[in-house]
Structure 1
Amino acid sequence: MTLRSNLPQGSPRWATRRAQWFALGLTDDDLTKPKIAIVNSSSGLSPCFSHLDPIAAAVKESVADAGGVAFEIRTVAPTDFIMAAGGSGGYVLSSRDLLSNDIEAVVEGAQLDGMVCLASCDKTTPGQLMAAARLDVPTLVLSCGYQSSGRLDTGEPVDIEDVFLHAGHLKFGGITFEGLCDMSARAITGPGVCTGMGTANSMHIVAEALGMTLPGSTPVRANSEAMWNSVRASGRAIVEAVLAGRRPRTILSPGAFANAVMAVLAVSGSINTVKHLQAIAREADTDVDVYALFEEYAEVIRPLSAVRPNGEDTIERFEDAGGALAVLKQLGDRLAGDAVTVTGETMADRVASAMVKDEEAIRPLAHPRGGHATVVVVRGSLAPGSAIVKLSVTEVRATTFEGQARVFDDAPSAIAAIEGGVVRQGDVLVLRGLGPVGSPGMGMASQTVFALNGAGLTEHVAVLTDGQLSGLVNKGIVVGEVIPEAALPGPLGVVADGDRIAIDLATRRVDLLIDEAELTRRHEERARHRVPGGTSGWLPVYARSVEPLARGATLRGNDLPVTPA
């Protein structure tokens, strides 16, 4: 086949490229081979990425053995727990799109033929899939595994999310400083992503459900023999995909997105998968409405597994039971079996040979672990676009809540009000200004939720926010990612202290209970007081370019309104 990387011999571009690559030790024969980008987000900031360099080297060797030439390229390495410290948390989600543009600049600029993407922390996998969908060059997503975690002296397991949650208890005496330090010291015992069914493991599973990975490769223990087997197999898989012309847009079909949505519901995955899947669909230039798919399949797909914090199972047990491929097999006739994969087989072919090794850990559809959907899309007068609620598999909670709004425009103010006793039982804590435009870049609301938990208010105060939540948050009634966000025209931006808010998860509604004339008056008043945002730095550029969450918060250069004064 004709490779796009093979430039016309004798042309200036060919000659200068040849000079550059000869200096790297390549030969004329190498210049005719499939040229594969190894997309590596290695970073010394976090254990999520600390093991990727040896993996990249092994993939390079695997590509060479398969008859290709591999070039390692680097991207930004977004990590919530480290990079959320600055910019009100806005650098985290915005780095997803920065990463996809990192990939485009190199792969498209150099006209490389394919990619192996080393999937690690929360935003790397969606950013890689977005780039694959946009560039439409053959791509293999390679899961690089989850970290091992430790135990306390009591024998109880402890991981990074336990540390995050219990830090919210410190001010209320729920844990001592020494106890928190002990948890922090024991939580992570090896490289890889967070151990629970958070965004990272959820997105690795999504990648497999979309057909963009090797079969049976997610989730996986970091640096395990299973992970290294996938690494060694990656070279042949991507070279064959390039030679066969298996492009992402032939794989990312409506059926593939349906399979991914069902997989998320079946594993009670992170709510962050919703916006990430919508962004991937947007980059693939499809008209798939991921929010509508979640609403549709929430009627019929119940959680088949209960990995921490959704239940007591560990991610290790889930992997040993068969992982993502076993989940897809348990979907039975609902699976879109004709969806094709990067290795050329259909999804039906893949699941035909899959085994469910523990039907208690990954149950059949007819015998789910819980009787309700755990990723719930809600709408109403306060969220006319949508919002999302994450529920636990095993905990039974109230499904309705009505109370008066207690409004905050930033997380520190909300946390201070909780600690000062200003937020009381029966309130609906409204935390706004944390959306993609408002932060800008989307701020984290989880610390506020955990402060409520530490104050013993989880069951007595509902939360409503346009911010993002940790992929593992499922404490109380928390309505997240409200669309439209407060920085854009819509009801969230005009909610006032004392307004009544009603939440009903059974009918999937969240409503602002105020007079229509008063709502109109507030909108008109707000429109008169808009001010322009900042002009320098990455985050203001992002704010001016980002689309609304309903379209995945991708970058399209839209002229969107900025945060009101």
Structure 2
Amino acid sequence: MSRPLRSNFEPGSSRWAVRRAQWRALGLTDADMEKPKIAVVNTSSEMAICFSHLDGIAAKAKEAIRAAGGLPFEIRTAAPSDFIISAGRRATYILPTRDLIANDIEVQVEGAQLDGMLLLTSCDKTVPGQLMAAARLDIPALMVICGYQASGHIGNEHVDIEEVFLHAGYHAQGNTSLERLTEMSEQAIRSPGVCSGMGTANSMHSVTEALGMCLPGAAPVAALSARMWAHVEASGRRIVEMVEEDLKPRAILTAGAFRNAAAQVQAQAGSINCIKHLQAIALEAGVEIDMAREFDAAGERVPVLTAVRPIGPLSIEQFDAAGGARGVQSRLAPRLETGVLTCTGATLAQNLEGVTVSDDNVIRPLDNPWGAEAPIVLLRGSLAPVSGVVKVGLRTADRNLAFRGPARVFGDSVSAEAALKAGTIAPGAVVVLRGQGVRGGPGMGGASRLVFALEGAGMGTACAVVTDGQLSGLVNKGLVVGEVQPESAEGGPIALVEDGDMIAIDVTTKRLDLEVPEAVLAERATCFTPPEPAHDSGWLSIYERTVSPLSRGASLIERARTR
């Protein structure tokens, strides 16, 4: 190594002596201790299939780092799978675990003064958590995309984990049998890796490539495929080079990179969860940018170039084979900021030289898109002064883009589902589910269960839903507005809605309005009392007391900075 390393301490010093004693006991030589010290960040877990293959990947990554002249240290973090960690506390551990991962990494990597990080990324919250840590610590860091799972079939019918989730809502309303749901759950997942559709995990993997934080061509990739292993080995070599070059995340994570990421998500009709994750990563990188407005702007200039399930008929395998995220970038190049630096040390433009798309129907050209209008739309209005989000997907002639009806207000999904089952939610209602935001959850309880129950009851298009909670990456049949801000717990207008109030949603004009006179709302506001903290101890208590609004990425550091 030609440049000094922060991990090499002065011989004879206290830090040098105790570290040498520890590491000699581990079998390391003095020569080993002079090498670049690389954290291999592993979110392995035996509880979830999306993480079950990471120990083998970590072993291969460490071999590659050693072969390149580095010294790897494997470290572990929390491993949140939405379908496993959602069982407790009304599914509110999911989003807060993102920040726990970032803090886990900081403690171990910064505390030990390691020189670089190779981050093995899998299920959706690990991606932003690791990127947040990379931006925060600003030492050479490289993401390794660990792949999507194979999904299954029942006869000729495709089935994956998202469809199991959807049909669980149908079963709750009596429209999918237990036998059918059981069969689906047995066939949905056929290998390790993340959910196989363009949900949050695969969307964030593509975001990672758009940001320049993984090797080109890494997303998406089939878990345990030959191409995945090739990327693992190449990434192990590259991170050692990045330490030598002193190429750090903040040189890569620029405003232009974040704008490119917003364009990538819109072009792929990806997950709305990417908005808040990108906002949090930008904050850690010191980039002052409003990601909601960047998504809005990207939706105006970028068409939908691919249609992977759930918004279209394509499989993730077809998207992968056609060129994946890099193929989309090659199509979008005239509308991207291609001068941005990437982890290769080259610009995005240089990385895209010679890249082609192998199937013009899977990843279409700009002049023949799957859809000309934005699949993700930001709404604003008297009910959402900051924003609300709708995932429209591909717009068809029969897709309803406007809804107006009386509010039916609930404070939790359980009571809303009970009312639905009892037949007390009438067609034409706007179901308002509040108290689900980052403060009110805390941590954004999922609202999708209610949405799927409505669809299972045959009310998917007969009602609309407005919530300050989080939604699944699935596209809903009816109009569903999620992540309304300010949230109920902060006294936003959604906290003031009463049964019978008229609510108007219009995707075309990007409006979400509560049709109640301002004087009436002002009077109601005088009676608003912020909810008592839901937890008096534990991680969720810490999160509830320190989390910033969703518009600032639901970050823990933002509130601390503004005190």
With the length of structure 2 as denominator, give the TM-score of the two structures. Answer: 0.97
Letter in 2 for 1:398: N
How do 1:106-125 and structure 2 match up within 5 A? 106-125=108-127
Q: 5+ residue gaps in structure 2?
A: none
Please give the alpha-carbon distance, in whole angstroms, between the structure 2 residues aligned to 1:240 and 1:289.
33
Aligned to 2:68: 66
2:1 counterpart of 1:9: no
CA separation of 1:307/1:394 partners in 2, compared to 1, >3 Å: closer, same or farther? Answer: farther
Please give the alpha-carbon distance, in whole angstroms, between the structure 1 residues aligned to 2:367 and 2:352.
18
Give SS of 2:134's match. Answer: helix
Aligned to 1:177: 178
Give the counterpart of 1:434 among 433, 436, 439. Answer: 436
Please give the alpha-carbon distance, in whole angstroms, between the structure 1 residues aligned to 2:477 and 2:214.
32
- Render the CA deviation track for 1:477-502: whole Å, top value 9, x for unaligned: 11000111110021011111111100
Contact 1:544–1:557 under 8 Å retained in 2: no
- Render the CA deviation track for 1:257-313: whole Å, top value 9, x for unaligned: 111010000000000000000010011111111111111111111110000011110
Contact 2:311–2:475 under 8 Å retained in 1: no
Aligned to 2:507: 505
Aligned to 2:242: 241
Aligned to 2:495: 493
Aligned to 1:379: 380
- Render the CA deviation track for 1:405-458: whole Å, top value 9, x for unaligned: 100001111111111111111100000111111011110001001001101111
How do 1:120-139 and structure 2 match up within 5 A? 120-139=122-141
How do 1:56-205 and structure 2 match up within 5 A? 56-153=58-155, 155-205=156-206
Aligned to 1:347: 348
Aligned to 1:563: none
Contact 2:440–2:531 under 8 Å retained in 1: no
Aligned to 2:336: 335
Aligned to 1:218: 219
Please give the alpha-carbon distance, in whole angstroms, between the structure 2 residues aligned to 1:317 and 1:482.
34
Please give the alpha-carbon distance, in whole angstroms, between the structure 1 residues aligned to 2:43 and 2:475.
26
Letter in 1 for 2:122: S
Any runs of at least 4 consecutive aligned residues in structure 1 with deviations exceeding 6 A, and if so which?
A: none
Aligned to 2:447: 445
Contact 1:313–1:361 under 8 Å retained in 2: yes
Aligned to 2:518: 516
Contact 2:382–2:513 under 8 Å retained in 1: yes
Aligned to 2:32: 30
Contact 1:310–1:394 under 8 Å retained in 2: no
Letter in 1 for 2:517: D
Percent of aligned positions with the same letter in both sequences? 56
Give SS of 2:356's match. Answer: coil
CA-CA distance at 1:235 after TM superposition: 1.4
Aligned to 1:411: 413
Give SS of 2:39's match. Answer: strand
Aligned to 1:361: 362
Aligned to 1:389: 390
Give SS of 1:298's match. Answer: helix
CA-CA distance at 1:366 after TM superposition: 1.5
2:309 counterpart of 1:308: yes
Please give the alpha-carbon distance, in whole angstroms, between the structure 1 residues aligned to 2:447 and 2:166.
12
Aligned to 1:484: 486
Give SS of 1:283's match. Answer: helix
With the length of structure 1 as denominator, give the TM-score of the two structures. Answer: 0.97
Letter in 1 for 2:364: R
Please give the alpha-carbon distance, in whole angstroms, between the structure 2 residues aligned to 1:502 and 1:232.
53
Please give the alpha-carbon distance, in whole angstroms, between the structure 1 residues aligned to 2:543 and 2:532.
17
Give SS of 2:175's match. Answer: coil
Contact 2:127–2:204 under 8 Å retained in 1: yes
Letter in 2 for 1:495: V
- Render the CA deviation track for 1:535-565: whole Å, top value 9, x for unaligned: 21111110001000000001037389xxxxx
Aligned residues: 558
Please give the alpha-carbon distance, in whole angstroms, between the structure 1 residues aligned to 2:42 and 2:441.
28
Contact 1:311–1:394 under 8 Å retained in 2: no
Aligned to 1:319: 320
Please give the alpha-carbon distance, in whole angstroms, between the structure 2 residues aligned to 1:89 and 1:340.
38
User: Which deviates more, 350-359 or 502-511?
Assistant: 350-359
Aligned to 2:462: 460
Contact 1:544–1:559 under 8 Å retained in 2: no
Letter in 2 for 1:331: L
Give the alignment's Cα RMSD to 1 decimal: 1.3
Give SS of 2:556's match. Answer: coil
Aligned to 1:275: 276
Letter in 2 for 1:312: P
- Render the CA deviation track for 1:109-129: whole Å, top value 9, x for unaligned: 001111111110010000000
Please give the alpha-carbon distance, in whole angstroms, between the structure 2 residues aligned to 1:210 and 1:532.
37
Contact 2:460–2:476 under 8 Å retained in 1: no
Letter in 1 for 2:436: L
CA-CA distance at 1:472 after TM superposition: 2.3
2:38 counterpart of 1:51: no
CA separation of 1:161/1:530 partners in 2, compared to 1, >3 Å: closer, same or farther? Answer: closer
Q: 5+ residue gaps in structure 1?
A: 561-565
- Render the CA deviation track for 1:238-264: whole Å, top value 9, x for unaligned: 011111111100100111011101000
CA separation of 1:201/1:557 partners in 2, compared to 1, >3 Å: closer, same or farther? Answer: closer
CA-CA distance at 1:172 after TM superposition: 3.4
CA-CA distance at 1:473 after TM superposition: 3.7
- Render the CA deviation track for 1:344-395: whole Å, top value 9, x for unaligned: 0110011112121111100111111013211111111101011110012264
CA-CA distance at 1:10 after TM superposition: 1.1
Give SS of 1:487's match. Answer: helix
Please give the alpha-carbon distance, in whole angstroms, between the structure 1 residues aligned to 2:265 and 2:509.
21
Please give the alpha-carbon distance, in whole angstroms, between the structure 1 residues aligned to 2:476 and 2:170.
16
Aligned to 1:293: 294
CA-CA distance at 1:532 after TM superposition: 5.1
- Render the CA deviation track for 1:192-212: whole Å, top value 9, x for unaligned: 000000000000000000000
Please give the alpha-carbon distance, in whole angstroms, between the structure 1 residues aligned to 2:500 and 2:214.
50
- Render the CA deviation track for 1:126-177: whole Å, top value 9, x for unaligned: 0000100111111111000000011002x11100011111111114332211
Aligned to 2:257: 256
Aligned to 1:230: 231
User: Which deviates more, 394-403 or 437-446?
Assistant: 394-403
CA-CA distance at 1:26 after TM superposition: 1.1
Contact 1:446–1:473 under 8 Å retained in 2: no
Give SS of 1:535's match. Answer: coil
Give SS of 1:274's match. Answer: helix
Please give the alpha-carbon distance, in whole angstroms, between the structure 1 residues aligned to 2:146 and 2:172.
37
